[in-house]
Amino acid sequence: MMGLWKYYWMLLLAVPIAGYSQAVRPVSSGIVRGEVKDKNSGLPLTGALVLVVNDTLRQQTGTDGRYEIKGVPTGYNTLYVDAEGYSGVLTESFLVTTSAPTLVNVELEKRMVTVGEVVVSASPFRPTTESPVSMRRIGTEEIDLTPGANRDISKVVQSAPGVLSVPTANRNDVLVRGGGANENRYYLDGIEIPVLNHFAVQGGSGGNASLVNPELLKSVNFYTGAFPAQFSNGLSSVMDMQMRSGNPDRFHGKLILGASDVGLNVDTPISSNGKTTLTGSFRRSYLQMLFKVLKLPFLPTYNDYQFKINT
């Protein structure tokens, strides 16, 4: 009987020890930092609250408008930023890694408050909440996780309502609401680019590989109607792509080997104080070497590069 009691007490002591060891198990995490500014004046905002969505992590900006949140779980995350007198902003999803801090800069707009006479009246119609149906916002997470898109922005938008694709193998032509492939307009940081794909045919913009590296994109707005004033030359659709800024802390590079090309991504500061940054990429196809060995009559080759300097 005494032997049974001895094992019983040993079991009771082992349970809390096991639970404690599981609770302190380290979790992979990274750092998120950036700056919060006034959208109109560009001045830094002091005391703005920065929250990690679906987490308890939070931080307030200092006198220089900067913040830094440590221990953010790796993977895709989203921030909510709010300040007194300003409208809150929910950022695009961004990828957090352990290799380098993630930079997320946010601009807030002042909340307009009008004080005056208020007239309350009943309406015979039931009000409904308006929702924009002609604009689709695409984040980097959706670009990475869309099945069959192979991280190609042209293939991602083909799953949008009212968009058709050309039933030809390896073609990225986009047909919106019955329009032609040459009726779409593409903008990168507000600058119009004539085509979006390599090997585009005359009168269209669809090739078999995208010109834009999705690694450098922050977000994409895809309009199928009701285009903003600055994009008034669109007929069927407008794709507004925004590039992210470079890392102000240290050099960060990535070598990518794909099914048909090899590429190099660079993310680095180019000034000692980190106020001027560079992000860019270069890609080159290598299928022509394989086709030459196989003695095929066609030798497709392409190169593309893009970069952004932010100061």
Phi-psi label, residue 294: left if phi above 0, alpha if psi -120 to 50, beta otherwise: alpha
User: Residue 307 in 3-state DSSP?
Assistant: strand
* 86 shares a domain with 149: no
> Is-contact 80 89, C-beta < 8 A?
yes
> Is-contact 62 87, C-beta < 8 A?
no
| Domain stop point among 195, 218, 243 | 243
How many domains, in total, are found in the chain?
Answer: 3
Query: pLDDT (tens digit, 9 = 90+) per residue, 112-159?
Result: 776 677 777 766 555 544 446 678 888 878 888 877 777 788 888 887
| Domain stop point among 194, 226, 243 | 243
Which CATH number covers residue 57? 2.60.40.1120
Residue 14 within any structural domain of the chain? no
* 100 shares a domain with 37: yes
* 234 shares a domain with 139: yes
End-to-end CA distance of the chain: 78
Query: pLDDT (tens digit, 9 = 90+) per residue, 131-140?
Result: 466 788 888 7
Continuous segment of H or E residues that includes residue 7: helix 2-23
Residue 208 within any structural domain of the chain? yes
* 185 shares a domain with 237: yes
Residue 84 within any structural domain of the chain? yes
* Whole-number Cα distances in Å, 242 to 178, 212, 213, 216, 245: 27, 11, 12, 9, 10
Q: State the residue range of the domain holding 164.
A: 135-243
CB atoms within 10 A of CB 229: 5
* 228 shares a domain with 161: yes
pTM: 0.65
Continuous segment of H or E residues that includes residue 304: strand 303-310
Query: pLDDT (tens digit, 9 = 90+) per residue, 34-88?
Result: 999 998 888 999 999 999 998 889 999 999 999 999 999 999 999 999 998 898 8
* 207 shares a domain with 146: yes
**What does the DSSP assignment read for 49-102?**
EEEETTSS-EEE--TTSEEEEEEEESEEE-EEEE-TTB--EEPPPEEE-SSSPE
| Domain stop point among 215, 243, 271 | 243
Residue 180 within any structural domain of the chain? yes
Which CATH number covers residue 180? 2.170.130.10
Residue 178 within any structural domain of the chain? yes
